[in-house]
């Protein structure tokens, strides 16, 4: 498969072009700030009711597979669960109870279950430690339900999921100081945004990339990208 996309050539950077909600996001690492438009003449100040608008809530899922073998590779990559130790470290890294001294850190609780893919919640939304089939279904469900709701918020509510998966064969592939020969590489890119849907004055967006190395039998040899996800929060 030939492509001019840096994602497909290098399998390292997400290059999916997205159209997010019409709100300016700050480049700061902390909470972003957005301006609240003044009410139009005759309108009262404060949050307004936004009617159901499916056009503001979009799900785009693309799995690039040229045949059934590549489809099976993508399925295997999405089915691979997060390593329990990686999940524990991700949970503890974002534990608000952790003091400056790691030796006195209070261990956060890892979510219970066999298919846990998230390590924390922000604005009531799960934040991924790994891109898995369950994670894709979760965000799809969130956005799909938003498309049927009306919201009361200070700015136009919107949400979006863009997911892109691709499988490629590599005679040699290097990642995380490891080198693999004659392997199939599956790259999963998930980009999610939710603006003024979970809360009337806040929004978020994040990107998660997972690279899964498979042998000829679709056995997982290595996973790169799992771990804590930084989530910029926008606040009015």
**pLDDT score of 12:** 36
CB distance 53 to 233 below 8 Å = no
For residues 69-75, average pLDDT: 98
Band (pLDDT 50/70/90 cuts) for residue 14 is very low
pLDDT score of 11: 41
CB atoms within 10 A of CB 79: 14
Q: Is the dihedral of CA 211, 138, 80, 75 positive or negative?
A: negative
User: Of 18 and 153, which is predicted with more confidence?
Assistant: 153
Name the residue with higher pLDDT: 56 or 198. 56
Q: Mean per-residue pLDDT for 28-41?
A: 47
Residues 100, 106, 111, 115, CA torsion sign: positive
CA distances from 86 to 82, 116, 163 (A): 7, 11, 23
Cβ proximity of 87 and 78 under 8 Å: no
β-pairing verdict for 202-214 and 125-128: unpaired
Please compute, for residue 153, the number of CA atoms within 13 A of its CA located in the half-sphere on the CB side. 22
List 209's β-bridge partners, or say none.
189
pLDDT tens for residues 225-234?
A: 999 999 989 8
Return the structure tokens found at 200.
């009337």
User: For the ranges 69-83, 88-102, 198-212, which has the lowest average pLDDT?
Assistant: 88-102
- The structural domains of the chain, with segments of one domain joined by +, span 14-20+48-94+116-235
**pLDDT at residue 21, as a whole number:** 31
Q: Report d(CA 59, CA 154) in Å as an integer.
A: 24
Could you identify the residue written with the tokens 């998930």? 190
> What's the whole-number mean pLDDT along residues 154-163?
95
| Average confidence score pLDDT of the chain | 82
Token digits for 59?
Answer: 């799900």
Q: Check pLDDT > 80 for residue 108.
A: no
Residues 189 and 208: their CA atoms lie apart, in Å, by: 6
Residue 142 or 32, more confident = 142
State the Cα–Cα distance between residues 130 and 82, nearest whole angstrom.
Answer: 6
Per the model's pLDDT, the better-predicted residue between 94 and 210 turns out to be: 210
pLDDT at 22: 30
């Amino acid at each position: 498969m030939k492509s001019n996309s840096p994602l497909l050539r290098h399998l390292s950077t997400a290059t999916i072009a997205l159209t997010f909600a019409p709100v300016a996001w700050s480049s700061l690492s902390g909470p972003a700030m957005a301006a609240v438009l003044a009410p139009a003449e005759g309108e009262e100040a404060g949050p307004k009711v936004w009617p159901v608008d499916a056009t503001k809530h979009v799900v785009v899922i693309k799995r690039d597979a040229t045949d059934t073998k590549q489809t099976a590779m993508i399925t295997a990559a999405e089915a691979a669960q997060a390593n329990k130790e990686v999940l524990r470290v991700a949970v503890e890294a974002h534990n608000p109870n952790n003091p400056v001294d790691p030796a006195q850190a209070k261990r956060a609780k890892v979510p219970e279950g066999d298919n846990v893919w998230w390590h924390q919640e922000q604005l009531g939304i799960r934040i991924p430690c790994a891109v898995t089939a369950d994670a894709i279904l979760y965000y799809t469900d969130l956005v799909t339900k938003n498309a049927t709701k009306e919201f009361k918020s200070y700015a136009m509510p919107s949400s979006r999921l863009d997911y892109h998966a691709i499988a490629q064969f590599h005679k040699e592939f290097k990642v995380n100081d490891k080198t693999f020969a004659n392997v199939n590489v599956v790259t999963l890119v998930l980009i999610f945004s939710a603006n003024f849907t979970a809360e009337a004055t806040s929004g978020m967006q994040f990107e998660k990339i997972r690279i899964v190395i498979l042998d000829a039998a679709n056995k997982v040899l290595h996973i790169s990208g799992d771990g804590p996800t930084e989530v910029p929060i926008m606040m009015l």
